[in-house]
Structure formats: structure tokens, C-alpha cells
Structure 1
Amino acid sequence: MQWRILSTQVPQTQAELQKILLQNRGLKTKAQQTEFLHPQPPAELTLKSVGLSAEAVKKAVDRLQKAIQNQEKVLIFGDYDVDGITATAIAWEGLKAAGLVTRPFIPHRLKHGYGLSLKALDEILAEFQPDLILTVDNGIVAHPALERLQELKIPVIVTDHHQPDEVDLPTVATVHSSQLCGAGVAWFLVRELLIATTQVQADQWLDLVALATVADQMPLLGANRDLVTAGLAELRLTQRPGIKALLGAASLSADALTSENLSFGLIPRLNAMGRLKDGVESLRLLCTHSTSRATELAQRLQTTNAARQDLTQDLLKQAELQAQEQLDQRILVVYSTEFHEGVIGLLAGKLMEQYSRPVVAIQVSQNLAKASVRSVPGVNIIELLRELRESFWELGGHALAAGFACDPAQVTQIQQQLFDLGQQKISADQLIPTFTAECELPTHWLSLDFYDWLQQFEPFGQSNSRPIFQLKNLKLIKFSLMGKQQQHLRLTFELTETGRIFEAVAWQKGSLTTSLVLGQQLSVLANLTQNVWRERKSLQLQIIDWKIQDTKTPTG
């Protein structure tokens, strides 16, 4: 495993460390650093600053105002993941506040497939007959459905953040920015509509924007940092019965919510319904005003998420067997008729983390094969896949995550094409597993006060990870296994510099106990966490990796 230490400077003051951390995040100028340390209220963000066309937004707002005047029926077409569900909730509640007659539609993963599909459109036209369709978090590549709607003379406003094709869309307006998640794009449209029509404030939906921005792993810098900071504040004071019930199911306290426990607590539960059942249930949870209904739905999400976890573990074992036979390849491609479409993205993500290379996981059925793709930083997977676009029936996604559909009879051929493409386009250096740390940290800094000081860099996430530091001269004095499957490590260190004793954990490192010897001097990569037990707080190191330290080598 390769270590990459971003700064060779060993800070002597907090001011020096602050400068190092800001520069490591690409924030070089005083203006950029000030913006980061003092997030801007989202109401003050301009459309231009988030990559949205003011002209396109105005066209959309004008058309929605016309719909209000004519009392037209508007259908909001969403998606079944957290970004799509929250975007739908924002648009549904926001358009209703503006005086529109609206109805949401969340496609079913297995019944309709992804996005504004012809299958979903058939059902919509049969049941609802809308005067106007607004897409959220999808639609940018839905060419067949958009062409059909044009033929039927049903106007469409597309709002999306996925990468567009170089094709003009037959829409009233296309509101697009790749700088935001889908819910973020929807929020800005709702904000502008409400400014034009009513005095209702759009800030009330920032809680949902925060959930979606974290769920879609958007970079938590610039406007996204502003949105998530404000959204977390809304979540901590939430009055939504559904959010309250889900917090209870996840054993989380609203006043202690962070971007990290959104990722591990709320988001997997909200995603579970769209993966295995019907994503509309998560939408109902977010929008219900009934406490009893919220409790019922939260329990349903909890049960479904547990089933999702079990299914993922079972299928991961099968996928790992295939991956083990492909370790000479630079893209891994696993497929099976037994894979469940709802968890292939999770399989791809887990294999990508385990083997440090792009992974394609394909669920094969009789008439259709559907793939979910996850990539490593530095390998733009959607650009690579577009080189094979003629092999796919559908293709969409981002630099690090994508999906496609294809003929099941062509899966083995596509697998070989992907193997060949990986060898041609991906260098071995791009696949070297690397742990990245900010800098070396003097161990006498380790304290709860220092942990509190670091919280100015919250919310943590993509492009603003919780800081990892290199710590030297840690003497291992105790270690033991923990966890249901003994998969984690608990370690105790003596700090050579001060003689203080520190507790540490190392998640998923249980198999590495054979490399540990009591009394070893270790250099570790770790981040700092706070452990709370019976209202007593203590600092805990979370070990990412370690190396045996040569005590003859000067340190500091």
C-alpha cells in the first residue's frame, strides 16, 4: 500500500495547520479560503455560481407560471435513489406552495427501469394525462421518451445534473448543472419560482438538499459546502415526522447529525426501498405529516435495509470469486443471472474499494442485461464507456459512477471489450492503492480540544475528507479483535513523545493481526474521532494504515 503525504511541513501552530489543510483542498487564494471557512447562505448564491443558466431557469419559471394561471396538471418525474426522491419531494412541495396542481412519479427499478423511459411514460399517459412534465435528477439523455412527448405535444422541463449528450433536447427548458446534485438543481428552480410567485422561503427544503448532496457524493466545496452546512442545520431542527422516525430507527440524535452519519445512517435506509422494493415509499416517508404513518414507513425502510445488507453480502461472495480470476485486468467485469439489479451498484463499489480498479457489475436476465459501474479517482469511467457506446442500448453517468443496459447475448463480448479498453486506456500507476494524509502531526497535539478545533472543516465528504494525519513513534502495547466476525481491531498505543496512552480502532483490519507485535514502534495514518460513553467524551484514533517504524530513523 502506497502512502501519499500531501504536505512535507510539520505544523507548529494551528494557524500553520489550517493553511496546510486549506491548500490541500485546492483552496489557494484568500477569497477561496474565506469562502470555505465562512459558508454563504444558499439564498445568496447566484445561478451562475452553481453552473446554472439564468436563461434556462427563466424559461422554466415562465412556463410554470403559465401552468399556474391555466391550472394545468404538472407531473414531477423523479428517480428511485436518494437524490431523485429528495428532488421529487422538493419539487412536489415547492410547486404546490407556488399554487400548482402536481403529482409525483417515482419509477420502479424493475418495472420501468431508470429515468424517463417509454415504459414509465405509457403508464403515466394512461393514468394521469399531464399538461406539463417536470423531470428531476434525470431526463438529460431520455431521447426516445422526449421525442414521443414532443409528438404528443406535451411540454417538458428537464432538470438534471448527469452528463448530457451533444444533442439538443426537445424541451421547454433544460435546467442543468454538473456542479450540483439533482436535488440541488431542483432546489434552485423552486427558489426562483417562489421568488416570482410567493413569499414562501425555499430554505425549508435545504434539509433534503443536504441528504442528496451527501448521498450523491458531490464535492463538499464551494456551493455544495454552503448547501450541506445550511441543510444540516435544518435537519438538526427538523419537524418532518418522517425524518424524526428514520432518526429513531437508525438510533441517531437530530442535534448531533453530521454529513458522515447521514452517509451511514439515513441514506442507506432511504435508498433501500428503491433498490429492493418501491422508492415511492421513501418519498412518502419524507413528505408525510402523520407521525404514526411515519413510524410505520420508517420501520418498513429499516426492515428492507436489513434485507438489502444480507443480500449484498451473499452476492458479494459470488462476485469476489469472479474478480479473483481477473486480477491481471485493469477493469473488473463480473456478471450473473443471480445478481439483483438493486444491489449491483453496491457490489461494484465494494469490489472497487477492495481491488482499487474500476468495476462493472452486470445483472443478466433473459431479455436485458443491466450494469452498474464504479471507478477510482483519476479514471473517468463515463468517457471510457462512451468509446463503446455502440455496444449499449442505454448509457449514462458521471466520472466515477455510471450505468448501462445491453443485449444479454453480448455480455461476454462486452466484457472482453472492457478488458481491452482497460489495458489500452488505464495505466498501472493509476491503480496503485494509495492512502492519502494531510501531513505529519506532532503527537502532543492529540486532545479533545484539538478535535473540537478540527470541526471548523465540517461537513466532511467528497473532496473534503475528515483529515488523516501521519503519527510517528507510537508504541503498540495491546491489541484485540472485535466485531461479530472478529473483523475489526482495537489497539492501545503509548505515545513515545509524552508517555500518554491512547485507544484506537482499525475497521476491517482484523485479518492483519499476524503483522503486529507488542512493543513495536509504528508510524500510522489515522484520523481523530470522539468516543462518547455514558456522557463521558474521549479522543479515539481511527487507524487507516500502519508501518513498522525504523527507530534509528530521525523523526519530527
Structure 2
Amino acid sequence: MRWTLKPKPNEEIVIKLSEELGVGKPIASLLVQRGIATFEEAKKFFRPSLSDLHDPYLMKDMDLAVARIEKAISSEENILVYGDYDVDGTTSVALMSSFLRSYSPFVATYIPDRYDEGYGVSYKGIDFAADNDISLIIALDCGIKAVEKVAYAKEKGIDFIICDHHRPGSEIPAAVAVLDPKREDCEYPYKELCGCGVGFKLIQALAAKRNIKLENLLPYLDLVATAIGADIVPITGENRILAYHGLHVINVASRIGFKAILKQLKKDKITITDVVFILAPRINAAGRMKHGLHAVNLLTEEDEETAIKFASEIEEYNTDRRDTDKTITEEALAQIDASQEQDRNTTVVYDENWHKGVIGIVASRLTETYYRPTLVFTKSGEKLAASARSVKGFDVYDALESCKEHIEQFGGHKYAAGLTLLASEYDNFKLKFEEVVSETIDKNLLTPEIAIDAEIELKDISPKFYRILKQFAPCGPGNMSPVFMTRNLRDTGYGKCVGADQSHLKCQVKQEGKGPVFDMIGFGLGKKLDIIAKNRVFKAVYAIDENEYNGNVSLQLRLKDISE
């Protein structure tokens, strides 16, 4: 692991903020690192307010989108809410369809089949609309590159409104309205919304048009918070406000579908981490193993018994998904070992029998193992489909752009993308991708980095310190949970390996000299027991959390790495 200590912020600003807020310098320093330098900025950070959301009409084409939807409602047109099959897409469809159904009974939903239609807007979906006398399609979390599909729909008398957050191609589809903050000609102040976030801005604009108060939209924010967590977008600016209030909704007045999932898991309070590792995989499992519409049905269901039945089915899909991704990951690792490709700067693997629904998860697992830009391919109809994942600091979307002569179509983000290509181009693509990455990547990025916010002393850690740290949540990209380093530590003699396979490290530490003693737990760090043995001095990188044992709650240090 590569330890990177963030630069110390301006000392004068830290002291001033420390005095204004009545907090210690370590807390003030963390805030200044995050761009928070005044009392007012700190207040907005610790108490995110819906009033700080931007005017939705600042987004290009918003007025056109609202006008077209209002016309469809007043004319009693049939509207199709269309979304991708992942969490961002299915939550977007649940959000938009449930809002529109408050004003029109003529609203249908559509999620493309991952295997039959593939990602994004499909001809089959447009034909479905034409066959059912639908004259307006609202596409969410997809569509920004659907130039030909939108033109095809127009020939059939169907209008499109696109709500997307992926990077546009060289041409914007000729839809009635294209809402995407990443459009170069869009001056919307916040660029990092997820697809469901863009959908929320549209219902915010529709609500404003109808003189509905913003507070009345709070019940939709559980969906937005789930999409923000699942899509790993920055938890800054508007996303942080939406995630903060959305998590509150999940915990206090969640929709019946979420309650049904959480009831099975016996979870009381949900954090953004729980959204990422508990809620999102289950919602995703429907689209991966069966069909994304199952997730939409669960998220819009209003009958408790039916929701419990849906949640139970989705739990089964998630179990299947876990088993499948474990098997494929093992096969992919074996393929890499057999091909002796460990010395490459990329990982590209393929098997025609791999389940298309889990190749994204497998790509993430391979990236964790070999830590390099990774693509996992499988057969999809007559073509090959792949999921791409990257390492921190490397833009895999740009790398794919440089390989596009071998690709049929692709889309995505800096760290995650999807593509299809002809089987005849697989070997050419693999060579080109390795060449592009090798020429452009900083080799340091191929070693995992631990970003350390600050070096502190154990005596700095107190219940008050931790109470304030908890208020940094929700944490995620752009506002990661604080990570600390402390030197001159010694184990008090209780250090040992724990866990069924003895793979975890547990110890109790104090800093040289006087001061408090803390329990430390390091998952997967059992092999580093020697570093702390025989009263050796060591340094540690860790996060702070709470440990509950026999009803007693105490602070503990959750190790990320240790070193001599």
C-alpha cells in the first residue's frame, strides 16, 4: 500500500475556524482540507439544507422538458418512463413514474432486458411504445448517446426527453429536451448528479411549476440517496444535501419496499455504507439475475404483504448473484494465472459462458486483486459485451475513447464503463487497450493508495472528537470518511490473529509516553502480526469507529495498514 499524507492546510485559517466553531485544531484542519473555511460554510456542511439546492431551471432544456410533460398530462397522452436496469436506473423510474402518476393515470414503465436488449434505449422499447400508442418517452440514466434511436422514435411520432448524467458523445440526440449537466453547453452549477439526481431535478422543476413546496418532495429522496450511494458519485454539493435528507427518510419514513428489504435483514439505522453494501446489491440483483422491472415494482409497491413477497424474491436473486459472481471470479483469476499475464498493466479476460449480469462485479473484484484497469468480457448475442473498472486516478473512459476503432459502442464514467464489440475485434482491442494504458498511466497508480487526512496523537481522540467526526457523514468520494496516522505505537501485549482463518489482526495499543489505550482491529492484516510483536514500535493508518460488546460501547481504531 502507498501511504499519502495530505498536505497540511493553512495554519491561520485552521486556528481561526477552530476558534469560531469551538472545536480542536484536528477537526478544524479536516474541515479546511474539504474546502470549508468559514463558520457559514461549516454550518452548511454539518446541517445540509434543501434550500441550498440549485434552481432546476438552470439546467439546459429544463423549461422544454417541463412544457412537454405538462402538455402530455393535460392532453392525456400515454407516457413511458424508461430507465436502465441498474440501481440508478430503476430508482429513477420508480421516482419519475410515481410522481407523474399523481397527475396522470396514463403512465407506463419500461426497463430493457439486460440480455435481450442490452444497455440504454433500445429499438424494442421504442416499438413497445409505438404499439401501445405512447407519444412521449422519458429516458432516465441513459439516452445521451441514443442519436439513431431518438431519430427512429421521431419517425414513429414519439417524442423523447432524456435525463442522463453520462458523458455525451460528439452529437446530442435530437430529443425535445436533453437534461445532462455534463453537456458542454449546460451551465448548471453542479456537474456530478447521478441519473436519479437529474430525474429529481426534473420533478423539482415540475413541482415548482405547480406551486408545490420542495419539502413535499422529501418522500422521493430515499430513492435519490440510494442511487447516489450505488453509483459511487461524489458526495459533495447537491449530492450531499440529497443523500443527507434521503438517508433520514430511509430511517424515519421509508417507502414500503425498502422497509420490506430491511425487515428481512433486521437493520435499525441505515448509513450510506449500508446503502452501498446492503440495499444497492439487492436492488441490482433483480436486473442482474432476472429483470430490472422487479426492482421498480418493489420500490413503487404500496401494499405491505406484496412488498414482503417481492423483497423475498429479490433476496433469492441476490443469493444467486453472490454464488455466480464468486464462481466467475475464481474462473477469471485462474485464467489470469494460466495466461501468465500478471506483468501487464491491464487485465482483460473473456469467457462466452460468463453471466452478463455479474461481469461488472467480477471486474471490481479483479481490480481489487491486481489493481489495474480491468475489463471482463462475455458473449452477448452475436457480439461481446464487457464491463470496465479502473484504479483511482486513471480515466478508463478516455482510454476506451482511444480504442474506439475496435469498439461498436461504449459509455460510462471515469472509473466504470461498458462496451460491446465484434468477436473478431477482441484480440485487436486487447492489444490496443494494453498499449494505451501503458503509455498513459502513471505507474504509481498501479499500487493501491491510502489517502491520510492527518497525523494525530492518540490523546487527540475523545468521545467529543468522535461525535463531531460522525457529523462528517454521509461520506463518500469527495468527502471520504477521515483517515488518520499515528506514530510511535506499541502493542500492550494482547496482539493476536483472530477470525475463522486467523486472517485478522487484533491488538491494544498505546503511544510511547503516557496517554489513552485503544483497541485496534485490522481486517485481512493478520499476516502483519510480526510488525507489532516483541514490543516493537510501529505506525498505523486507521479510521475511528465504535465497538459494542456486552452492551458496552467504546471507541476503537479500524486499521487500514501498519508499518515499522
Choose which of 277, 295, 298 in structure 2 pairs with 1:264: 277
CA contact (8 A) 2:294 2:310 kept: yes
2:110 corresponds to: 105
CA contact (8 A) 1:437 1:469 kept: yes
**Distance in 1 between the 2:37 and 2:458 partners?**
27
Is 1:532 aligned with 2:551? Answer: no
CA contact (8 A) 1:329 1:422 kept: no
One-letter code aligned to 1:5? L
1:251 corresponds to: 266
Choose which of 17, 23, 26 in structure 1 pairs with 2:32: 23
One-letter code aligned to 1:257? I
**Distance in 2 between the 1:542 and 1:408 partners?**
46
Choose which of 432, 440, 445 in structure 2 pairs with 1:417: 432
Aligned pair count reads 541
Is 1:286 aligned with 2:302? Answer: no
The structure-2 alpha-carbon separation of the partners of 1:517 and 1:43, relative to structure 1 and needing over 3 Å to count, comes to: closer
1:440: Cα distance to partner? 0.8
Choose which of 139, 144, 148 in structure 1 pairs with 2:143: 139
Choose which of 60, 65, 81 in structure 1 pairs with 2:86: 81
1:195: Cα distance to partner? 2.2
Of 6-15 and 311-320, more deviation after overlay is shown by 6-15
CA contact (8 A) 2:130 2:158 kept: no
**Percent of residue pairs identical:** 29
**Distance in 2 between the 1:65 and 1:96 partners?**
13
Any unmatched runs of 5+ in structure 2?
A: 183-191
The structure-2 alpha-carbon separation of the partners of 1:481 and 1:101, relative to structure 1 and needing over 3 Å to count, comes to: farther
1:124: Cα distance to partner? 4.2
1:35: Cα distance to partner? 3.4
**Distance in 1 between the 2:144 and 2:49 partners?**
29
Instruction: Please give the residue correspondences for 1:401-416 in structure 2 after superposition, counting only pairs within 5 Å.
Output: 401-416=416-431
One-letter code aligned to 1:505? I
The structure-2 alpha-carbon separation of the partners of 1:401 and 1:239, relative to structure 1 and needing over 3 Å to count, comes to: closer
1:475: Cα distance to partner? 1.4
CA contact (8 A) 1:42 1:227 kept: no
- Partner of 2:249, secondary structure, is helix
> What are the superposed Cα offsets for residues 55-100 of structure 1, whole Å, 9 maximum, x if unpaired?
x111011011111111000000011111111111110011112335
**Distance in 1 between the 2:174 and 2:251 partners?**
41
1:553 corresponds to: none
**Distance in 1 between the 2:62 and 2:176 partners?**
10
The structure-2 alpha-carbon separation of the partners of 1:417 and 1:248, relative to structure 1 and needing over 3 Å to count, comes to: same
1:296 corresponds to: 309
Instruction: Please give the residue correspondences for 1:538-553 in structure 2 after superposition, counting only pairs within 5 Å.
Output: 538-548=554-564
One-letter code aligned to 1:344? I
Is 1:122 aligned with 2:127? Answer: yes
Give the alignment's Cα RMSD to 1 decimal: 2.3
Of 470-479 and 21-30, more deviation after overlay is shown by 21-30
1:372: Cα distance to partner? 0.6
The structure-2 alpha-carbon separation of the partners of 1:522 and 1:338, relative to structure 1 and needing over 3 Å to count, comes to: farther
Instruction: Please give the residue correspondences for 1:350-369 in structure 2 after superposition, counting only pairs within 5 Å.
Output: 350-365=365-380, 367-369=382-384
1:355: Cα distance to partner? 2.4
**Distance in 1 between the 2:354 and 2:559 partners?**
33
Is 1:316 aligned with 2:329? Answer: yes
1:72 corresponds to: 77
The structure-2 alpha-carbon separation of the partners of 1:64 and 1:296, relative to structure 1 and needing over 3 Å to count, comes to: same
One-letter code aligned to 2:267? L
Is 1:6 aligned with 2:19? Answer: no
CA contact (8 A) 1:443 1:472 kept: no
> What are the superposed Cα offsets for residues 274-326 of structure 1, whole Å, 9 maximum, x if unpaired?
11111111111111111111111212222221222222222112222344533
Of 470-479 and 216-225, more deviation after overlay is shown by 470-479
- Partner of 2:205, secondary structure, is helix
- Partner of 2:495, secondary structure, is strand
The structure-2 alpha-carbon separation of the partners of 1:450 and 1:429, relative to structure 1 and needing over 3 Å to count, comes to: same
CA contact (8 A) 2:166 2:411 kept: yes
The structure-2 alpha-carbon separation of the partners of 1:535 and 1:99, relative to structure 1 and needing over 3 Å to count, comes to: farther
CA contact (8 A) 1:57 1:173 kept: yes
TM-score (norm 1): 0.92
CA contact (8 A) 1:78 1:87 kept: yes
Of 187-196 and 131-140, more deviation after overlay is shown by 187-196
**Distance in 2 between the 1:123 and 1:471 partners?**
61
One-letter code aligned to 1:52? M
One-letter code aligned to 1:174? V
> What are the superposed Cα offsets for residues 211-245 of structure 1, whole Å, 9 maximum, x if unpaired?
11111111111111111111111111124221111
The structure-2 alpha-carbon separation of the partners of 1:42 and 1:431, relative to structure 1 and needing over 3 Å to count, comes to: farther
**Distance in 2 between the 1:345 and 1:436 partners?**
25
CA contact (8 A) 1:83 1:212 kept: yes
2:65 corresponds to: 60
2:413 corresponds to: 398
**Distance in 1 between the 2:502 and 2:376 partners?**
28
1:551 corresponds to: none
- Partner of 2:209, secondary structure, is helix
TM-score (norm 2): 0.90
**Distance in 1 between the 2:476 and 2:359 partners?**
23
2:185 corresponds to: none
- Partner of 1:457, secondary structure, is coil
1:27: Cα distance to partner? 4.4
1:387: Cα distance to partner? 1.5
1:408: Cα distance to partner? 1.9
- Partner of 2:494, secondary structure, is strand
- Partner of 2:239, secondary structure, is helix
1:441 corresponds to: 456
**Distance in 2 between the 1:416 and 1:484 partners?**
42
> What are the superposed Cα offsets for residues 332-386 of structure 1, whole Å, 9 maximum, x if unpaired?
2122123221111111112222322211111135612111111122211111211
1:511: Cα distance to partner? 4.2
One-letter code aligned to 1:167? E
> What are the superposed Cα offsets for residues 94-134 of structure 1, whole Å, 9 maximum, x if unpaired?
111233521111112112211102233334444x3311100
1:26: Cα distance to partner? 4.2
1:517: Cα distance to partner? 2.2
**Distance in 2 between the 1:467 and 1:282 partners?**
34
- Partner of 1:112, secondary structure, is coil
**Distance in 1 between the 2:354 and 2:40 partners?**
49
One-letter code aligned to 1:529? D
- Partner of 1:462, secondary structure, is coil
2:218 corresponds to: 203
**Distance in 2 between the 1:521 and 1:94 partners?**
60
1:446: Cα distance to partner? 2.5
**Distance in 1 between the 2:51 and 2:497 partners?**
45
1:30: Cα distance to partner? 6.8
Of 336-345 and 8-17, more deviation after overlay is shown by 8-17
One-letter code aligned to 2:310? L
2:160 corresponds to: 156
1:168: Cα distance to partner? 2.8
Is 1:522 aligned with 2:538? Answer: yes
Of 445-454 and 263-272, more deviation after overlay is shown by 445-454
